[in-house]
Amino acid sequence: MTDKKDLPPLAEKILDAVEKRETSELTDKVVIGLAGLTPLQYAQQLVRTAKKYKTPVRLLEKAVDAARVELEIEQLLEPHWEVKPTDDLVDAAQLFADIEARILQHVAMPKDLAFVAALWIGQSWIHEHSTYSPILGVTSAERDCGKSTLMGVISFLARRTLTTVGISAAALYRSIDKWHPAFVIDEADDAFVDNPDLRQVVNSGWTRGQGVMRCDPDTHEPSKFSTFCPKAIALKGKKMPDTMLSRTIFVELKRRLRSEKVDHFRHLDDAGFARMRSQLARWAKDCGETLGLAQPAQPEGFINRPASNWELMFAIADSLGDTAGARARRIAQHIVGAVDMASAGVLLLQDIKTMFDRSTLDYLTTKAIIEDLTADPEKPWADWSRGRPITDKGIADLLREYRIISRTVGPQDARSKGYRQADFRDAWDRYLAPERNEDKQSESGNLPFCRSTHCNHSTFAENSPILQGGAERQRNGHFPSEIKGKNGRTEENPASDAFSFSNPAEATKDHTGGCVSQPLMVAPGASSACLGANGSGGIDRGHPVQNKPHTTNGSHDPADKDGLPEKLKRCFYCNNPGAKPWDWQGRTVYLHEHCEQAWADQQ
């Protein structure tokens, strides 16, 4: 290259100008230097630097703001965010047992639910490898049940937790974009009531890659903010929209008894927490990618969102051993079954299915549906709209979403608006949980409740004294006043001697014509193998035989022996008068001749 001294004076000046321009380009070092200045120094240097490097002031401000964000990220928000993975290999089974034990040290709760919390904590450390991010919902029926204590323990064990009491939608997605934390949100009792913005942000954060779009207030340029992060939310009750309920794994706490002893939690970090965080970091480094690719087996009935919620937690549990994997699935089935995630439409589908199951007809009139729906004051239908019962239009509006519309149904001489059973089958298959063939007993040893089956002949529930709720007695207009329904059984009326049993053994007989099955008293833990072939503990309740009607002349009428007045001699199948007595395995029942076979089939 030619030396400057050999160049003409004009060429030497041009070369100096080029070199000066090359050295005056804006660099990251210059921007970072501005970001580190005090506010006064920054105000003095901003315009001067922009002129020097021939850069628009607004563009230089944006670059400095971005550099400040990077500097703030390097300065960890919480001391416990700084975690160094342990050098030793981690025994994962022992680590999660230690986490579960530490939770139980401070919170009085079932061990199984503590295990669920431990699995969720582990998931937060390998969250970058997950596709779905279920919410951990810590809830209780009343205050003072340990929710805040559990959230405090979680805040020192989950990865990079950010603890807050309530939060706005904007603060949530901007914090996720800035720090990529695991949110621990306490006192969220009413956070989602009439707050669609927060609901949208939380719901979108269930799936990787989702986010919210917002415009920059200065440049009006759209930007996408990620909302994908672990979230633990504590609240009293379940005041969440159904779209959030389905994204949540609930841990329900109860107020501890005086006999339940726990250590006071001071909401301070300690060496035990630090040791487990270090082990979790090493475990995540060694196993995170593998667990993220795992496709664990799902329990029966787990599809769609419940399966996605538990997928990674099942993978973690399986890695701890076969026992832990089976335990996680058993707990998941209990939690998913205990959480009512049904919308109003699904609840209506379930209630109508129950009606059809109890009816012998393949259609229901709208009038009969409304009467049954509004009969239970504990369900929403009795005060559906501003304290008024649901109407035929309300039912039609809900069912229209499932492409189910009302039709003209019934016999030719009594046509009316109603619904056909066939129109519901697709919706039932798609939206209702599958029915289990066997009742599984809970760990507390409670026996399953034995429900009675209805014995209707015509329109659903019009001829049955059976209550659909509890055992409260209630008069039924289709039956004489001397009979009251109590779970399908008639009992003695204190105000009348219509039923008077002189023999105590007679009082235990079924005087409802066998329409109600006798409950089986099965000891907790007893399997179906203990029962006879007919499912009744080896006791054969009888089968239809060639029944011959008794003679009804004079004193030989069995009704005279039972002491029943004529007005009570109604058919045990259709409840209409004019029934004759039949001998059913030594017991007198009243049936029409055309009802006998149908009634016998129900037995």
pLDDT tens for 530-560 read 323 333 333 333 333 344 444 333 434 444 4
Q: Is the dihedral of CA 41, 43, 48, 52 positive or negative?
A: positive
What are the structure tokens assigned to 221, written together?
């340029």
Question: Regarding predicted confidence, which is higher, 281 or 585?
Answer: 281
Of residues 603, 499, 479, the one with CA closest to residue 543: 603
pLDDT band at 523 (very low <50, low <70, confident <90, very high): very low
pLDDT value at residue 20 = 54
**How many Cα neighbours within 13 Å face the side chain of 530?**
8
Of residues 21, 238, 81, 216, the one with CA closest to residue 147: 238
Question: Regarding predicted confidence, which is higher, 6 or 252?
Answer: 252
The rounded distance, in Å, linking the Cα atoms of 97 and 103 is 10
pLDDT value at residue 602 = 66
What are the structure tokens assigned to 181, written together?
């934390």
Most confident of 61-70, 309-318, 380-389, 500-509: 309-318
pLDDT band at 572 (very low <50, low <70, confident <90, very high): confident
The rounded distance, in Å, linking the Cα atoms of 225 and 437 is 47
Angle, helix 271-293 to helix 147-157, in steps of 10 degrees: 70
The CATH superfamily assigned to 92-255+272-338 is: P-loop containing nucleotide triphosphate hydrolases (3.40.50.300)
Mean pLDDT to the nearest integer, 481-510: 37
The rounded distance, in Å, linking the Cα atoms of 370 and 399 is 14
244 to each of 27, 128, 233, 341, 433, how far by Cα in Å?
A: 47, 22, 11, 9, 18
DSSP bridge partners of 249: 136
pLDDT value at residue 577 = 72
Question: Regarding predicted confidence, which is higher, 323 or 194?
Answer: 323
Of 40-44, 120-124, 388-392, the range with the lowest mean pLDDT is: 40-44
Most confident of 50-54, 89-93, 237-241, 597-601: 89-93
**Residue with token string 């700084």:** 82
Mean pLDDT to the nearest integer, 569-589: 73
pLDDT tens for 398-453 read 999 899 999 999 988 889 999 999 999 999 998 887 664 444 443 333 333 333 33
Q: State the chain's mean pLDDT as an integer.
A: 76
282 by DSSP, 3-state: which? helix
pLDDT tens for 314-362 read 999 999 999 999 999 999 998 887 665 567 888 999 999 999 999 999 9
The one-letter amino acid at 406 = S
pLDDT band at 151 (very low <50, low <70, confident <90, very high): very high
pLDDT value at residue 310 = 96
pTM of the model: 0.56
pLDDT band at 149 (very low <50, low <70, confident <90, very high): very high
pLDDT value at residue 469 = 39
DSSP bridge partners of 37: none
Contacts of 178 (CB under 8 A, 6+ apart): 69, 72, 73
Mean pLDDT to the nearest integer, 216-232: 88
Mean pLDDT to the nearest integer, 77-105: 94
pLDDT band at 463 (very low <50, low <70, confident <90, very high): very low
pLDDT value at residue 574 = 72
Is residue 411 within 8 A of residue 363, CB to CB? The reply is no
pLDDT band at 68 (very low <50, low <70, confident <90, very high): confident
Of 96-105, 253-262, 381-390, the range with the lowest mean pLDDT is: 381-390
pLDDT value at residue 421 = 94
Q: Domain map of the chain by residue range?
A: 4-74, 92-255+272-338, 344-431
The one-letter amino acid at 531 = L
What are the structure tokens assigned to 585, written together?
């395995």
pLDDT value at residue 339 = 60
Of 15-29, 104-118, 332-346, 504-518, the range with the lowest mean pLDDT is: 504-518
The rounded distance, in Å, linking the Cα atoms of 351 and 345 is 10
pLDDT value at residue 543 = 36
What are the structure tokens assigned to 316, written together?
């973690």
Of residues 110, 77, 75, 102, the one with CA closest to residue 277: 102
pLDDT value at residue 341 = 56
Q: Does the pLDDT at position 589 exceed 80? A: no
The bridge status of strand 416-420 relative to strand 407-409 is antiparallel
